[in-house]
């Protein structure tokens, strides 16, 4: 299993490094959206609930770009068939794809979060960063699991570009709510409030539930 | 009209590599395969003829365990499909219309990827790249290679794990005569593997065949030993 996951992950990262189809697009989208918010709100800075909402909604829509591309090379270039012909555990692909999407999200957030701090956020990100990273990691894990599940479902349909976001957005809304509520105190002026633990637990449970659902369903999505 | 012998009239064979009995597969309302029955012994070659849309590729994909039969009984290398598909995978090699190669990866990276999936060593990768004479360009992305070269890499991929059963869909398409000679030891009769070949070339196909299957509209309209079939009977399938 570990060898298979390693081979799949290496292949994913090599393809992304050669094509640069996902991470640069997601990063550019996020930065552009922050600029649009900056002018649309006609405010120099935001904080608290508004800041958390803008950050998480932008991250969500940027993630959709990556989710839509996740299985395209496999579907268009016979990767599914090549994988299915091998005597390996189908779950290896789920793990590799979740890890790939997680890597994409972390890579694009290295650009997007500081850009958000520079372009929109009133309070400094510095003090909030360690806790914010924890909230982002929990949210990213959920996005990666749900995104992989939905992308695997949508990619073999003719309307995959439409179906992917249509299926993903309702399932990702609880992550946006949990992420925004957990981040809000961190992005408030003074940010001395403790992290709301119940939202972190909610995010963690949501990740776990969808992780189990994805593990149970993924084989069926790959097979005929 | 070409007669379709009953399954019992198929060649009597020992230790069958393939056994199909009443295989049917449909896509929505359309029947892609219907009532296909045959037996193929280990080490023999079945050549499938038929016009476009006759069901040849669907048959190969069912045998490759990529499509589930909707009815009938299918046994591949002693494994019942789809219940024991997992046991047959890894023992068969598929060379279809798609090369199953990532365009952005090099030939070597593609083969190493498949080698990891099949638990094959890097030495074997180098060996098959040499065998299809692609070593010199194995560091180039597949998208930069000509169609003939891509087909050679696809042949290398299909035989990388030394499968017992080869499923070949027009395997010599895009290959020049020298390349055909090059891949012959890997996928030709000299490979000494059980093979199922889809072909539109009556002369070439009959030369390779032990058993001939003619498909039309998803139905087996011809099933006979190669020696009992003439090229003009094959040509009749396409009229």
Among candidate residues B138, B162, B186, the one where a domain is terminated: B162
Q: Residue B5: pLDDT above 50?
A: no
- This prediction has a pTM of 0.87
Q: Tell whether B232 and B183 lie within a shared domain.
A: yes
CA–CA dist B122, B103 (Å, integer): 20
C-beta atoms of A14 and B109 within 8 A: yes
Q: Is residue B18 part of a domain?
A: yes
Among candidate residues B142, B162, B182, the one where a domain is terminated: B162
C-beta atoms of A85 and B94 within 8 A: yes
Q: Which residue of A has its CA nearest to B93?
A: A85
For residues B55-71, average pLDDT: 94
Q: Do A23 and A63 touch, CB atoms closer than 8 A? A: no
Rg (Cα) of chain A, in Å, rounded? 18
Q: Is residue B55 part of a domain?
A: yes
C-beta atoms of B96 and A81 within 8 A: yes
Q: Residue B11: pLDDT above 60?
A: no
- Which of A25-34, A197-206, B7-16, B224-233 is predicted with the least confidence, judged by mean pLDDT? B7-16
Q: Tell whether B146 and B192 lie within a shared domain.
A: no
Q: Is residue B3 part of a domain?
A: no
Q: Tell whether B26 and B60 lie within a shared domain.
A: yes
Regions of chain A with pLDDT less than 50: none
Instruction: Give chain A positions within 8 Å (CB) of B157.
Output: 82
Instruction: Give chain A positions within 8 Å (CB) of B156.
Output: none
Q: Tell whether B128 and B218 lie within a shared domain.
A: no
In this prediction, residue B6 carries a pLDDT of 40
Give how far A91 is from chain B: nearest CA, Å. Answer: 13
**Counting every residue, how long is chain B?**
239
Q: Is residue B1 part of a domain?
A: no
B82 upstream amide cis, omega within 30 of 0:
yes
Best mutation target among A75, A82, A156, A222 (most B Cβ atoms within 10 Å) is A82
Report the sign of the C-alpha dihedral through residues A16, A8, A162, A143, in that order.
negative
In this prediction, residue A8 carries a pLDDT of 95
Best mutation target among B116, B145, B162 (most A Cβ atoms within 10 Å) is B116
Q: Which residue of B has its CA nearest to A75?
A: B100
Work out how many CB contacts closer than 8 A connect A with B.
Answer: 74
Q: Tell whether B169 and B158 lie within a shared domain.
A: no
Tokens of B215: 């498909």
For residues B25-43, average pLDDT: 91
In this prediction, residue B3 carries a pLDDT of 42
Tokens of B190: 């000299």
C-beta atoms of A85 and B65 within 8 A: yes
In this prediction, residue B174 carries a pLDDT of 86
Tokens of B6: 């009953």
Q: Is residue B193 part of a domain?
A: yes
C-beta atoms of A11 and B105 within 8 A: yes
Q: Is residue B210 part of a domain?
A: yes
Q: How many CA atoms lie within 13 A of A47 on its CB side?
A: 12
Tokens of B72: 């009938």
Instruction: Give chain A positions within 8 Å (CB) of B70.
Output: none
Q: Do B129 and B150 touch, CB atoms closer than 8 A? A: no
Pairing of strands B16-27, B71-76: antiparallel
Instruction: Give chain A positions within 8 Å (CB) of B57.
Output: none
Q: Tell whether B217 and B176 lie within a shared domain.
A: yes
Instruction: Give chain B positions within 8 Å (CB) of A11.
Output: 102, 105, 109, 113
- B68–chain A Cβ distance below 8 A for any pair: yes
Q: Tell whether B18 and B31 lie within a shared domain.
A: yes
E-strand ranges in chain B read 16-27, 30-41, 45-49, 71-76, 79-81, 92-95, 165-169, 194-198, 211-216, 219-225
Q: Tell whether B79 and B27 lie within a shared domain.
A: yes
Q: How many CB atoms lie within 10 A of CB A43?
A: 12
Q: What is the 3-state secondary structure (H, E, C) of A156-170?
A: CCCCHHHHHHHHHHH
Pairing of strands B219-225, B211-216: antiparallel
Q: Where are the domains of chain A?
A: 2-222
pLDDT digits (tens, 9 = 90+) for B113-171: 999 999 999 999 999 999 999 988 989 999 999 999 999 999 999 999 999 999 999 99
Give φ, ψ of B103 to 5 degrees: -65, -30
- Check residue A138 and report its DSSP letter: H
In this prediction, residue B239 carries a pLDDT of 80
- Name the nearest CA neighbour of A105 among A53, A72, A50, A65: A65
Instruction: Give chain B positions within 8 Å (CB) of A84.
Output: 65-66, 89
- Name the nearest CA neighbour of B192 among B235, B217, B163, B232: B163
C-beta atoms of A85 and B141 within 8 A: no
Report the sign of the C-alpha dihedral through residues A174, A175, A178, A184, in that order.
negative
CA–CA dist B96, B83 (Å, integer): 23
Among candidate residues B123, B145, B162, the one where a domain is terminated: B162
Burial of A90 (0-12, 13-18, 19+ CB in 10 A): middle
Q: Do A109 and A140 touch, CB atoms closer than 8 A? A: yes
Q: Residue B12: pLDDT above 80?
A: no
Q: Tell whether B83 and B200 lie within a shared domain.
A: yes
Full residue range of the structural domain in which residue B157 is found: 101-162
* Residue B36 bridge partners (DSSP): B23
Tokens of B218: 């998803």
Q: Tell whether B190 and B220 lie within a shared domain.
A: yes
C-beta atoms of A88 and B117 within 8 A: yes
* Conformational region of residue B217, where left means phi above 0, alpha means psi within -120 to 50, and beta covers everything else: left
- The number of domains in chain B is 2
Q: What is the mean pLDDT of chain B?
A: 88
Q: Is residue B211 part of a domain?
A: yes
Q: Residue B14: pLDDT above 90?
A: no
Q: Please give the helix or strand (H or E) that residue B14 lies within, else none.
A: none
- B96–chain A Cβ distance below 8 A for any pair: yes
E-strand ranges in chain A read none
Q: Residue B2: pLDDT above 60?
A: no
- B90–chain A Cβ distance below 8 A for any pair: yes
C-beta atoms of B66 and A82 within 8 A: no
- Name the nearest CA neighbour of A21 among A57, A70, A59, A90: A70
Q: Tell whether B199 and B234 lie within a shared domain.
A: yes
pLDDT digits (tens, 9 = 90+) for B180-203: 999 999 998 888 899 999 998 888
Cα dihedral A76, A82, A85, A90, rounded to 10, equals: -80
In this prediction, residue A128 carries a pLDDT of 83
Q: Is residue B96 part of a domain?
A: no
Q: Do B185 and B131 touch, CB atoms closer than 8 A? A: yes
Strand order in the sheet with B219-225: B92-95, B165-169, B194-198, B45-49, B211-216, B219-225
Report the sign of the C-alpha dihedral through residues B95, B97, B102, B106, in that order.
positive
Cβ-based interface (< 8 Å): residues of A facing B: 3-4, 6-7, 10-11, 14-15, 18-19, 73, 77-79, 81-88, 223-224
C-beta atoms of B98 and A81 within 8 A: yes
């Amino acid at each position: 299993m570990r060898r298979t996951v390693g081979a799949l992950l290496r292949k994913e990262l090599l393809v992304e490094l050669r094509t640069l189809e996902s991470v640069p697009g997601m990063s550019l989208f996020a930065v552009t959206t922050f600029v649009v918010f900056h002018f649309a709100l006609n405010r120099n800075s935001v904080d608290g609930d508004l800041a958390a909402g803008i950050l998480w909604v932008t991250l969500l829509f940027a993630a959709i770009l990556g989710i839509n591309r996740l299985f395209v090379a496999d579907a268009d270039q016979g990767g599914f068939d090549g994988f299915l012909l091998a005597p390996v555990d189908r779950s290896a692909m789920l793990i590799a794809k979740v890890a790939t999407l997680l890597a994409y999200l972390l890579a694009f957030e290295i650009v997007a979060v500081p850009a958000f701090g520079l372009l929109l956020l009133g309070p400094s990100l510095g003090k909030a960063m360690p806790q914010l990273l924890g909230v982002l990691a929990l949210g990213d894990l959920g996005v990666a699991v749900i995104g992989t599940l939905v992308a695997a479902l949508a990619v073999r349909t003719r309307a995959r570009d439409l179906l992917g976001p249509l299926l993903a957005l309702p399932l990702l809304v609880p992550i946006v709510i949990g992420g925004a509520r957990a981040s809000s105190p961190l992005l408030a002026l003074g940010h001395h409030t403790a992290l709301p633990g119940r939202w972190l637990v909610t995010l963690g449970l949501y990740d776990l539930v969808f992780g189990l659902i994805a593990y149970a369903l993924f084989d069926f999505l790959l097979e005929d | 009209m070409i007669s379709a012998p009953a399954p019992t009239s198929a060649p009597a064979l020992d230790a069958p590599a393939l056994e199909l009995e009443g295989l049917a597969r449909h896509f929505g309302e359309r029947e892609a395969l219907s009532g296909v029955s045959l037996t193929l012994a280990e080490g023999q070659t079945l050549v499938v003829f038929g016009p476009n849309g006759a069901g040849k590729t669907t048959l190969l994909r069912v045998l490759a365990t990529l499509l589930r039969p909707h009815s009938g009984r299918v046994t591949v290398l002693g494994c019942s499909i789809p219940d024991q598909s997992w046991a047959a995978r890894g023992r068969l090699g598929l060379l279809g219309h798609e090369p199953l190669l990532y365009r952005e990866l090099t030939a070597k990276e593609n083969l190493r990827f498949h080698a990891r999936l099949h638990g094959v060593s890097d030495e074997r990768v180098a060996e098959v790249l040499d065998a299809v004479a692609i070593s010199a360009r194995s560091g180039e992305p597949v998208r930069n290679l000509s169609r003939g070269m891509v087909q050679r890499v696809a042949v290398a991929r299909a035989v990388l794990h030394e499968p017992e059963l080869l499923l070949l869909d027009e395997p010599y398409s895009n290959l020049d005569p020298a390349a055909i000679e090059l891949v012959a030891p890997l996928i030709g009769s000299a490979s000494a593997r059980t093979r199922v070949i889809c072909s539109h070339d009556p002369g070439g196909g009959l030369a390779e065949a032990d058993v001939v299957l003619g498909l039309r509209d998803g139905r087996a309209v011809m099933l006979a030993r190669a020696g009992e079939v003439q090229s003009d009977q094959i040509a009749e399938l396409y009229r």
